[in-house]
């Protein structure tokens, strides 16, 4: 049977000779990784369920979200992980190492054709080397640590052929943003994407990493590049493995094949609030900025540092503008030191931090304040993701040029005199809390309850459960923070009652792999979530936590009103409005999902 690239990788790691879209298979995981915020929850699951470690040599901690331990809860979680690692012979890539997904590549933990899971939702960055990487919640990671395997539904595949030559000045980040402009946040939802063509073949490892790292923002499971000789040689040297790379069959079956002329691509910027809200640079040119950030798993590689340095050399950051630069790994940081790039950054007036995720993960540096306008090389600019301010996404070249100009611009149009501030505004928001509620426990194939109708697509996990609460491990404390970062629904937790049902639009739960975005609903006693589609990681987390998530693409046909009551048959997928009597059919529970649901969770 002919297979795509991902299908071949999954089949090689399963008991089957071949797999096809929709198959649910147990796959062997070559590298099993937990980060500093998710790691403590993984440890808790291991200890609570008296689980062992399948193979400590394949099991790792990476402290990249807050390598400085500047937050007390992060520091506590890191210490929990270190103690567990000592007792179980697990390697820790500690606070001096950098971003875990980059370490997985550069330290040879993963290589073409291999598999890896991490509590990082951007683990699919490993598609840059033709490997399978997937972000998962702490339940999944704990199970993988214990069994060495995890279940996975084989996704359909899409083949994109990049044609033509990339215009001068258009970067790998621009390729990703042009693709986001074309496909949005959910057109590729649940697909594995493979990139081909002469233009793709010419991309370096660093450029491939930039593009693959934004698969999550497109809703895709992964963006895969077939590994070329340079990638293979690099990974063989780093891993010490004589692996056999995997390639798709020539007659593989793809759900969609598209040819894209990249000669038409332009420099692009994502406007604040959504990575897929991309526009031509010209349409935002001249917008005054307060701060700039260069780094993250998307643009923290050496090539990114070199491009930024070429613009910053013999220039100064505009007065009043803050520029923060964070290399992705310690080895890149050291290369910046030895090559003189750090000196260029410092003379330009930038703050350079130790390697890590930085502002993208509310980490050691890079946060912005309410009313602050930031231009960033990160992959996400959801409200609250990098702080209280507004975040534009762009390439390192545009960010560096904008930092010097004091406004959004490109390297060819940096003014002789930077744009100056006209006024300063300070705004403070008061936070509110709420007592927790105990989750419900009844298990029935029929669910009935009052609905909360949220007419929005692409509700991400930061809107559901903000990253400032990620250190919470007690589910009883989580409910009070549900939706407090979703505009218009900040009072949801105070008004929701046990037995309620949430009804939303497309791509519910996009973004981070955080389990808390599921557990907060269980904490409140919410019995189900119905949506037109779900983020892939979120759906897994909900299934594993026995929170019913029901995909119903025609839920709008019920003409529901907020507060209506509906009845759901999990086995048949039948959803009925008790007000009108109208019925639609959703996707019924799979055997695996129903078994986990009745069992009360993955464990």
pLDDT at 442: 52
- Mean pLDDT over 337-343 rounds to 97
Helix-helix angle 536-544:138-147, to 10 degrees: 70
DSSP H stretches of helix in 449-489? 461-464
C-alpha dist (Å) from residue 333 to 329, 361, 441, 474: 6, 19, 50, 37
Specify the pLDDT at position 441: 42
Question: What is the layout of strands, in order, in the sheet containing 59-62?
Answer: 91-93, 59-62, 31-35, 115-118, 132-135
* pLDDT reported for residue 336: 97
User: Reduced to 3 states, what is the DSSP secondary structure of residue 168?
Assistant: coil
DSSP alpha helices (H): ranges in 289-417?
A: 296-299, 302-312, 330-338, 341-348, 396-405
**Confidence at residue 426, expressed as pLDDT on a 0 to 100 scale:** 53
Query: Residues 70-98: what's their mean pLDDT?
Result: 91
Same domain, 296 and 245: no
The domain of 524 spans: 446-599
Same domain, 333 and 196: no
Question: Residue 128 pLDDT more than 50?
Answer: yes
Residue 576 clears pLDDT 90, i.e. is over it:
yes
* Residue 343 clears pLDDT 80, i.e. is over it: yes
Helix (H) or strand (E) segment spanning residue 45: helix 36-48
Residue where a domain terminates, one of 389, 413, 437: 413
Are 18 and 162 members of one domain? yes
Helix boundaries (H) for 55-125: 72-88, 100-106
Q: pLDDT (tens digit, 9 = 90+) per residue, 396-430?
A: 999 999 999 999 999 999 999 999 887 555 555 54
Residue 262 near residue 199, CB atoms below 8 Å: yes
The reply to whether 367 and 299 lie within a common domain is yes
Percentage of the chain lying above the pLDDT 90 cut: 87
Judge whether 399 lies within some domain: yes
Task: List phi, psi (to 5°) of 582.
Answer: -65, 150
Residue 373 clears pLDDT 90, i.e. is over it:
yes
Which pLDDT score is estimated for 401? 98
Domain boundary among 211, 241, 264: 264
Confidence at 144, pLDDT banded by 50, 70, 90: very high
Q: Residue with structure tokens 């009935």?
A: 448
What would the mean pLDDT of 161-183 be, rounded to a whole number?
A: 96
Residue 450 shares a structural domain with residue 529: yes
- Nearest 5°: phi and psi at 139? -65, -50
Instruction: Give 502-540 as a DSSP string.
Output: EE--SSBTBS---THHHHHHHHHT--EEEES-B-HHHHH
Phi, psi of 585 (to 5 degrees): -115, 125
- Tokens 């669910």 label which residue? 447
Q: Extract the tokens encoding 352.
A: 């350079």
Residue 354 counted as domain residue: yes
Kindly write down the DSSP assignment for every residue of 298-309, as one continuous string.
HH-SHHHHHHHH
Give the model's confidence band at 436: pLDDT under 50 very low, under 70 low, under 90 confident, else very high.
very low
Claim to verify: residue 253 and residue 300 sit in the same structural domain: no
The verdict on 468 and 586 lying in the same domain is: yes
Mean pLDDT of 61-67: 88
pLDDT of 103 > 80? The answer is: yes
Q: Above 70 in pLDDT, residue 541?
A: yes
Residue-by-residue DSSP string for 115-163: EEEESSTTGGGGGGGT-EEEE--HHHHHHHHHHSEEEEEPPPEEEEEEE
**Looking at the structure, do residues 408 and 475 belong to the same domain, yes or no?**
no
Q: What whole-number percentage of the chain has pLDDT above 70?
A: 96
Same domain for 317 and 199, yes or no, is no
- Which CATH number characterizes residue 468's domain? 3.20.19.10
Does residue 337 sit in the same domain as residue 216? no
**Any residues with CB less than 8 A from the CB of 77 and at least 6 apart, and which?**
36, 37, 39, 40, 471
Rounded CA-CA distance 143/139 in Å is 6
pLDDT recorded at residue 245: 93
* 209 lies in some domain: yes
Same domain, 111 and 138: yes
pLDDT at residue 146 above 70? yes
> What mean pLDDT do residues 123-129 have?
97
The CATH number for 285's domain is 3.30.499.10
pLDDT tens digits along 246-291? 999 999 999 999 999 999 999 999 999 999 999 999 999 999 999 9
Output the pLDDT for position 359: 75
DSSP assignment of 246-289 equals: ----TT---SEEEEEEGGG---EEEPTT-TT-EEEGGGTTT-B-
Within a 10 A sphere around the Cβ of 416, how many other Cβ atoms?
4
pLDDT at 569 over 70: yes
User: Is 437 contained in some domain?
Assistant: no
Rounded Cα gap, residues 213 and 217, in angstroms: 8
Beta carbons of 100 and 119 less than 8 angstroms apart: no
The predicted pLDDT at position 435 comes to 34
pLDDT of 451 higher than 70: yes
Q: What is the dihedral of CA 310, 311, 315, 321, to 10 degrees?
A: -130
Measured at the alpha carbon of residue 443, what is the angle toward residues 492 and 579, in degrees to the nearest 5? 55
Report residue 185 as tokens. Answer: 């946040």
Q: Which of 413, 434, 469 is the last residue of a domain?
A: 413
Distances 574 to 284, 443, 525, 570, 582 between C-alpha atoms, Å:
47, 17, 22, 7, 10
Residue 439 has pLDDT above 60, yes or no: no
Q: What is the maximum alpha-carbon separation in the chain?
A: 71
Report yes or no on 271 lying in a domain.
Answer: no
The yes-or-no verdict on residue 432 having pLDDT over 50 is no
Inside any domain, residue 429: no
Cβ atoms 227, 129 nearer than 8 A: yes
With bands split at pLDDT 50, 70 and 90, how would you rate the model's confidence at 473?
confident
Pairing of strands 256-261, 291-294: unpaired
Question: What is the pLDDT averaged over residues 47-67?
Answer: 94
Indicate the number of domains in the chain: 3
Does residue 288 fall inside a structural domain?
A: yes
- CA quadruple 527, 529, 534, 538: dihedral, nearest 10: -30
Q: Which pLDDT does position 428 carry in this prediction?
A: 54
Cα distance between residue 60 and residue 107, in whole Å: 12
121 lies in some domain: yes
> Residue 89 pLDDT > 50, yes or no?
yes
Q: Do 99 and 206 sit in the same domain of this protein?
A: yes
| Residue 426 near residue 407, CB atoms below 8 Å | no
Does pLDDT of 241 surpass 70? yes
């Amino acid at each position: 049977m002919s297979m795509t690239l991902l299908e071949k990788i999954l089949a090689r790691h399963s008991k089957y000779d071949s797999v096809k879209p929709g198959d649910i298979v147990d796959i062997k995981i070559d590298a099993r990784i937990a980060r500093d915020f998710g790691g403590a929850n993984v440890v808790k699951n291991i200890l609570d369920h008296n689980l062992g470690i399948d193979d400590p040599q394949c099991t790792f901690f990476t402290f990249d979200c807050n390598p400085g331990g500047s937050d007390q809860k992060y520091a506590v979680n890191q210490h929990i992980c270190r103690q567990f690692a000592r007792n179980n012979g697990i390697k820790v890539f500690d606070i001096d190492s950098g971003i875990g997904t980059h370490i997985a590549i550069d330290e040879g933990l993963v290589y073409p054709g291999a598999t890896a899971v991490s509590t990082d939702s951007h683990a699919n960055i490993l598609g840059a080397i033709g490997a399978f990487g997937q972000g998962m919640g702490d339940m999944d990671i704990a199970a993988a640590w214990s069994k060495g395997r995890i279940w996975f539904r084989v996704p359909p595949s899409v083949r994109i052929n990049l044609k033509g030559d990339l215009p001068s000045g258009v970067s790998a980040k621009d390729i990703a943003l042009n693709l986001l402009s074309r496909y949005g946040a959910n057109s590729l939802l649940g697909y594995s994407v493979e990139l081909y063509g002469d233009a793709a073949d010419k991309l370096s490892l660093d450029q491939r990493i930039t593009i693959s790292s934004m698969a999550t923002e497109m809703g895709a499971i992964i963006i895969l590049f077939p590994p070329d000789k340079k990638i293979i040689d690099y990974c063989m040297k780093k891993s010490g493995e004589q692996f056999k790379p995997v390639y798709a069959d020539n007659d593989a079956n793809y759900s969609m094949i598209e040819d894209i002329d990249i000669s038409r691509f332009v420099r692009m910027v994502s406007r604040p609030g959504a990575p897929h809200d991309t526009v031509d640079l010209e349409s935002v040119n001249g917008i005054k900025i307060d701060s700039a950030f260069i780094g993250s798993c998307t643009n923290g590689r050496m090539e990114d540092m070199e491009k930024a340095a070429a613009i910053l050399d013999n220039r100064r950051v505009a007065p009043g503008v803050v520029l923060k630069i964070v290399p992705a790994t310690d080895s890149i940081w050291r290369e910046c030191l030895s090559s003189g790039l750090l000196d260029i950054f410092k003379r330009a007036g930038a703050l350079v931090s130790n390697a890590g995720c930085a502002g993208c993960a509310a980490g050691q540096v890079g946060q912005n304040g309410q009313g602050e306008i930031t231009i960033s090389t990160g992959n996400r600019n959801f409200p609250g993701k990098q702080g209280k301010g507004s975040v534009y996404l762009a390439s390192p070249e545009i960010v560096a040029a904008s930092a010097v100009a004091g406004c959004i611009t490109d390297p060819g149009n940096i003014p002789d005199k930077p744009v100056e501030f006209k006024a300063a505004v300070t705004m403070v928001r008061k936070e509110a809390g709420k007592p927790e509620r105990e989750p419900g426990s009844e298990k029935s194939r029929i669910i009935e309850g009052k609905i909360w109708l949220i007419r929005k697509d692409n509700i991400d996990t930061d809107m559901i459960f903000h990253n400032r609460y990620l250190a919470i491990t007690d589910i009883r404390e989580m409910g009070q923070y549900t939706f407090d970062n979703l505009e218009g629904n900040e009072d949801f937790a105070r008004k929701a009652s046990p037995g309620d049902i949430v009804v939303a639009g497309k791509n519910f739960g996009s973004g981070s792999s955080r389990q808390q975005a599921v557990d907060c609903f269980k904490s409140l006693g919410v019995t189900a979530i119905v949506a037109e589609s779900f983020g892939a990681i979120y759906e897994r987390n909900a299934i594993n936590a026995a929170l019913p998530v029901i995909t119903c693409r025609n839920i709008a046909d019920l003409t529901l009103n907020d507060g209506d009551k509906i009845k759901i048959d999990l086995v048949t997928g039948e959803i009925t409005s008790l007000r009108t009597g109208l019925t639609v059919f959703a996707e019924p529970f799979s055997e695996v999902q129903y078994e986990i649901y009745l069992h009360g969770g993955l464990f």
